[in-house]
Structure formats: C-alpha cells, structure tokens
C-alpha cells in the first residue's frame, strides 16, 4: 500500500473527498507536509461536495489523482463520492486511492490508547482495536457487548444505535489526520471507487416459477 507522500510525489496534486461523516470535507493537496486548502460543509453529500469544490476554486481536470474516504461511515455519502470519482475518471483517466476513516483516527494523538468505533447498524460496530503494544489492528465488525472499555468515535459520525456509555468523541479533521500519517502506507489503490465492506456481498440464487393459484380445498365426501 502506498503512503500519501509517495502518491503526491508521483501523481500530485490530489483532490481529497471525505463524506464519511455529516461534515463533508474537500481538500486540495500538493505537499504532504503543508496544510493544503480545505473546505467543510454540513449538508447532504451531493450538495456539500460541489459546494466544497466551488469554495476551493479548484478545477477537477487539474487534479493528478483522487484520494477519498471509503469508510467506515455514511454509506450514502461514500457512494455519492464514488459515483463522482467514476464519472471524473471516465472523462479523464487518473488514479484513485482510498483510506479508511478509523485507521487514520486511530493514529492521531486524540485517540491514543483507545479503540476507535463507528456504527455498523444491526447492533454492531466497526472497530479498530489495539494490540498488546498499543498499535492499531485492522478494522473489524463486532457486536456492542464486545467493544473495548477504552473507546472513542470521530466527531460528526452518525449513529443509529445508542452510543455506548463512556465513549469519547474525538476530532475528525481530515487535513490534520492525513498530514500526521503522510508517511504511513495507509492508502489503497481503488481503480473502481466504492464503499468499504468487511466482506464481499453474498447473493442468493433463485429459480423463477410461474405463479399459480393455490389448490382449492377438497370437497367433503357425501354422507351415505
């Protein structure tokens, strides 16, 4: 997996799109050590992404690559981002790279020593736990009762189940998070941008049948 520094060196400038939370963030990066230009908007993803681009005043066609958050987070926001990226790379082919929200948060000082969680629905949670020496582990999905005691969740992330008690909220400033992890190989090449899934979807096959009316009940036999 490449790092942000290596991606910018080969393909910059990068247009960064993050719609994983209710606060959509759009950034233009040329130097991994610099703050870059960022805009944030609290609106529906389809509107907020374009408002961010307009506020930045950047030309999508000038981007050398795209970097986006694949999740965990808002599936609607992430899939809206993926549709835009597929459209833009059809108009002008460029590489796309994704990162996972909880992985970058787990490496920030705000989450030091804590697991990082996000709602996965159906009484389960996305989780980046820590190993014996405190290093972040790959993201997994666990039931609520299996969450570690020391945990936090990024700000502006939606949750449908009640937030477990004693869960801290920590900042989700994408510009700061990416700058702090610029040398860590956290990016994934994403030639077909899409939302992060723990496993590939499983499809059930079925055999079509012509609908028939249920058989009528058997008439009682005549009494002798």
Tens digit of each residue's pLDDT (9 = 90 or more) over 47-57:
999 999 999 99
The total of structural domains in the chain comes to 1
Cα-based distances in Å from 189 to 18, 27, 97, 177, 209: 16, 19, 5, 19, 43
Distance CA 74, CA 81 (A): 11
Query: What would the pLDDT profile of 125-147 be if each residue is shown by its tens digit?
Result: 999 999 999 999 999 999 999 99
What is the share, in percent, of the chain residues with pLDDT greater than 90? 83
Q: What is the pLDDT of residue 206?
A: 64
Residue 216, domain member (yes or no): no
Statement: residue 121 has pLDDT above 50: yes
Per-residue pLDDT at 203: 47
Please indicate, yes or no, if residue 129 is contained in any of the structural domains.
Answer: yes
In this model, does residue 106 exceed pLDDT 70? yes
**What's the CATH number where 67 sits?**
3.30.420.40
Nearest in space to 184 (alpha carbons), one of 84, 94, 105, 86: 105
Check residues 198 and 98 and name the one with the higher pLDDT: 98
In a domain, 202, yes or no: no
Residue 68 falls within a domain, yes or no?
yes
Domain membership of residue 126 as a residue range: 4-189
Q: What is the pTM of this model?
A: 0.87
In a domain, 210, yes or no: no
Tens of pLDDT, residue by residue over 55-89, are 999 899 999 999 999 999 999 999 999 999 999 99
71 in any annotated domain: yes
What's the pLDDT score for residue 123? Answer: 87
Q: Identify the pLDDT of residue 197.
A: 81
Residues 6 or more apart whose Cβ sits within 8 Å of residue 10: none
Mean pLDDT in residue range 191-207: 72
Q: Evaluate if residue 12 carries a pLDDT over 90.
A: yes
């Amino acid at each position: 997996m490449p790092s942000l520094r290596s991606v910018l060196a080969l393909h910059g400038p990068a247009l960064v799109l993050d719609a994983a939370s209710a606060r959509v963030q759009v950034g233009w990066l040329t130097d991994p050590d610099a703050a870059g230009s960022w805009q944030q908007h609290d609106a529906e993803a389809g509107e907020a992404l374009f408002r961010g681009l307009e506020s930045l005043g950047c030309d999508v066609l000038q981007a050398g690559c795209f970097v986006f958050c694949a999740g965990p987070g808002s599936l609607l926001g992430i899939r809206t981002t993926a549709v835009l990226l597929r459209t833009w790379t059809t108009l002008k082919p460029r590489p796309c790279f994704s990162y996972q929200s909880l992985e970058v948060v787990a490496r920030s000082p705000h989450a030091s020593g804590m697991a990082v969680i996000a709602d996965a629905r159906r009484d389960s949670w996305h989780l980046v736990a820590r190993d014996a020496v405190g290093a972040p582990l790959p993201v997994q999905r666990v039931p609520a009762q299996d969450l570690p005691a020391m945990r936090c969740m990024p700000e502006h992330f939606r949750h449908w189940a009640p937030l477990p008690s004693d869960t801290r909220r920590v900042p989700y400033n994408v510009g700061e998070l990416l700058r702090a992890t610029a040398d860590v190989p956290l990016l994934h090449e994403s030639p077909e941008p899409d939302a992060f899934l723990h496993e590939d979807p499983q499809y059930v096959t079925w055999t079509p049948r012509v609908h028939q009316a249920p058989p009528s009940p058997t008439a009682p036999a005549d009494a002798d």
